[in-house]
Structure 1
Amino acid sequence: MKLETLDIAIAGAGVGGLSLAALLAGRGARVTVYDQMNAPQPVGSGFVLQPTGAAVLSRMGLLGQVEARGARISRMHGRLSGNGRTVLDVGYRPGAYGIAIQRVALFDLLLEAAISAGVRFETSSRVTDIEPGSAPRLVLATGIRTATADLAIDAMGANSPVAAKAATELGYGALWATVPWPEHGVFRKDELEQRYKRASQMAGVLPVGTARDGAAPMATFFWSIRNGDFEAWRAAGREAWIDAVRSFWPEAEALAAVAEPVHARYRHLTRTPVAGKHVVKIGDAWHATSPQLGQGANMALLDAASLASALCREATVGEAIARHLKQRQMHIRFYQLLSRILTPFYQSDSSVLPFSRDIMIGPATKLPLVRSLITTLVTGELLDPVGRIELDRLVPEKKAVVENQGALV
């Protein structure tokens, strides 16, 4: 269909919402993004863009800028805290790599792309519901109903109030902090390094590049924690935590000493992706998991590209939604199941599961066929999600919009 005829309303200015907005507006659609913040801003620390997410950003013309700000990752390496034995060693297929990047850096690039494409932003607009139909409307917390659209997108994440259902909150969360990269330390610039003690304690260090041109390189430091223990951790104070880090992973003590950690909780849920006629969920609003496989942002980018591609190729909105679901559902169902199975091996109170992990996974990754399979799993490439979307069939981008269609408050 001709995207120039479409009015699109998107609730949520995260990775999925902004990338979809930029893709659609760049191809002629009239797009409005509604977000509860006073101004669009990122939430979260650093993460790894896998080849799947990178393929979408390449199609958007952003990959070069992302690579300039991020750090190339060639290996994910996990050791036991006590004896240093390797229990996870995953690389990439020849010629491939991950890009570790600060969430703020990717957010800024996606926001700039959306503004350049002519996306209109309505900030301080908390969406509480979406009225489905052939002309759906968003309902704001103030009671105001927005103008009608041809398609409404819920990109509000796992806490979305639209067609909400009970989610399983995982027992473990994490403390996340962005800290200066230790230039003369022991950490490698091309690795995600992790340490484990059974499944009850995990920590990691990830180089994440620079937030903006000319900024200092940074790292993400994360520390797993039972959600029920967070208040006790806070009451114990900073020095107690630094002591715990020193005992668990001495080389990471300097990172903890300068960290200002934020506590993140995680939910596992899979909602029905269609929340009524012409209302579609993407990203964590549709499928949220633990961060163990690191697929959240990559999945959101794939969802956005899939829906944009389907809208370009089909004659009606309904047909486009059907194609989008066909392209994405198998991949999402598989990784939801995989995350549910694997998470307890790395974050749980079990003693049996981490023992089996330590004696099986590390040695198994040295076998060529097993190593190749694990690499494909971890990078999100199993079931060929990029090929199913057929990114190359996205209608070429329209000429850049000179004037923004709305004010960015």
Structure 2
Amino acid sequence: MRFEKLDIAIAGAGMGGLSLAAMLASRGANVVIYDQMTAPQPVGSGFVLQPTGSAVLSHMGLLDKAAARGAVINRMHGKLAGTNRTVLEIGYGEDRHGIAIQRVALFDILLEAAIAAGVKFETSSKALDMRDGERPAIVLDGGRVAPAADLVIDAMGANSPLGHVPAKELGYGALWATVPWPEEGPFHPHELEQRYHRASRMAGVLPVGTAKDGAPRMATFFWSLRNRDIDAWRSAGRHVWIEQVAKMWPETVTFAEIAEPVHARYRHHTRKPIAGRRVLRIGDAWHATSPQLGQGANMALLDAASMMTALENSASLEDALALHLRQRRMHIWFYQLTSYVMTPFYQSDSNILPVVRDIAIAPATQLPLMRQLVSKLVTGEFLDPVRRIGLV
């Protein structure tokens, strides 16, 4: 397909929207991103760029930039609070690793690539609906209608209003904060470390590198919290939270003392990927879930790359959409199901599931074959999604 003749309208300047826009514009397509912000900006804290997401950035020629700002992650290590007994230990294997990175750092890299490729931006333009047709159009706030396009992409995340399909909010969210990385320890510079109290409380520390060249190294500190308890948490005051942190994981008290936490809520849904004729959902707008498997941004990058390769290998938009869905559906279905099943073992009010996790699941993951399978699961490489979308 000739990209030079394509008009692409993308709603949402997140990881998926920016990466797809940059890839398509660099091949000659006319791409416009519509975003509700007054200027493009990221939402969220740090995350782990898995080998799947790294493969997409490598294809875009951006992996070296991301690696320079991020922190190499070789292992995920979880212990029970109080006893310090290891109940989660997952390594990447030889010559494999993740890259923990601040969302703002990767956002800036993708934004720079999109601008360099010629992507146009319409800020302060909140998408509310779509106008279907041979050439669909995004309906913006105030009743404005954006110019019609050959393809409309919904990349607005789990709260996307397009299609008005409700998403199930999970009972647990989390407090996230970006804090200075303690160079003198006691945390490991190449690990995601977690502590658990049953399944009702989880805390984690993730080294996430620098926001920009020359900036200090930072960490992401997160603390699970029932969504219904957020008002009580705010009313109780920081000193009560610090006491809770000290009881569960004393080494992280310094983080709680200086953190400016943001409360994140999570949803689980798998919407129909086709929202209208030549209207496609990608990322969390299509498939949202809890962060337990850490796949959100990586899945969005895979969606974007899949649509790009599908367009490259198809004679028409309809053929490209069909190919894209064949490339992505199985991987998405598997990870949505796995996340749905596994999340209650780590975030729920159950007293039984965390016991099963600690005495059965955790030891089983140390068996040689299981270690390999679990590693592939956590890194997002199960079912070989990179090969499926034609990047290798």
The aligned counterpart of 1:352 is 352
Measure how far apart 1:123 and its partner are. Answer: 0.3
Instruction: Classify the secondary structure of the residue corresponding to 1:112.
Output: helix
Please state if 1:294 is matched with 2:294: yes
* 2: CA distance, partners of 1:45 / 1:380: 20
User: Structure 1, residues 350-398: CA drift from partner, whole Å, max 9, x if none?
Assistant: 0100000001222122211010000010011000000000125xxxxxx
Task: Report the alpha carbon displacement of residue 255 of structure 1 after superposing the two structures with TM.
Answer: 1.0
Look up the SS of the partner of 2:292 in the other structure.
helix
Where do 4+ consecutive residues of structure 1 move more than 4 Å?
A: none
Deviation at 1:313, TM superposition (A): 1.1
Which residues of 2 match residues 19-58 of structure 1 at below 5 A? Answer: 19-58=19-58
Q: Report deviation, 1:299.
A: 0.2
TM score, norm. by length of structure 2: 0.99
Amino acid at match of 2:26: G
- What is the distance in 2 between the residues matched to 1:117 and 1:165? 33
Runs of 5+ consecutive residues of structure 2 not aligned to the other structure: none
Please report the TM-score for the alignment, with normalisation by the length of structure 1: 0.95
Task: Flag structure 1 segments of 5+ consecutive residues without an equivalent.
Answer: 393-409
| Structure 2 CA distance for aligned equivalents of residues 73 and 132 of structure 1 | 44
Report 1:108-127 matches (<5 A).
108-127=108-127
Please give the alpha-carbon distance, in whole angstroms, between the structure 1 residues aligned to 2:315 and 2:133: 18
**Which residue pairs with 1:247 in the alignment?**
247
In 2, Cα distance between the equivalents of 1:131 and 1:312? 26
Post-superposition Cα deviations, 1:222-267, rounded to whole Å, max 9, x if no partner, equal: 0000011110000000111111100100011111111000000000
Matched, 1:94 2:94: yes
Quick one: distance in 2 between partners of 1:277 and 1:301?
23
Q: How high is the sequence identity, in percent, across the aligned residues?
A: 68
Pairing 1:130–2:125 present: no
Distance 2:177 2:227 in 1: 17
3-state SS of paired residue (2:284): helix
Q: Which amino acid aligns with 2:296?
A: G
Displacement of 1:164:
2.2
- Amino acid in the other structure paired with 1:294: G
Q: Which residue of 2 aligns with 1:261?
A: 261
The 2-side partners of 1:161 and 1:237 are apart by 34
Count of residues in correspondence between the two structures:
392
**SS state at 1:292 partner:** coil
The equivalent of 1:224 in structure 2 is: 224
Check the 8 A contact 1:151/1:278 in 2, yes or no.
yes
Query: Following the alignment from structure 1 to structure 2, what is the Cα–Cα distance between the partners of residues 228 and 310?
Result: 43
| Cα shift at 1:312 | 1.1
**Does structure 2 conserve the Cα–Cα contact (< 8 Å) formed by 1:88 and 1:362?**
yes
Match of 1:386? Answer: 386
User: Is 2:113 the counterpart of 1:149?
Assistant: no
Q: How far did 1:131 drift?
A: 1.5
Distance 2:53 2:160 in 1: 23
Question: What residue is the counterpart of 1:311 in the other structure?
Answer: 311
Aligned to 2:366: 366
Structure 1 residue 166, shift from structure 2 partner: 2.0
Deviates more, 1:33-42 or 1:125-134: 125-134
Cα distance per residue 1:301-350 (max 9 Å; x no partner): 00000001101110100100000000000000110000100000000000
Question: 1:362 and 1:148 mapped to 2: Cα distance?
Answer: 52
Distance in 2, Cα, partners of 1:262 & 1:168: 21
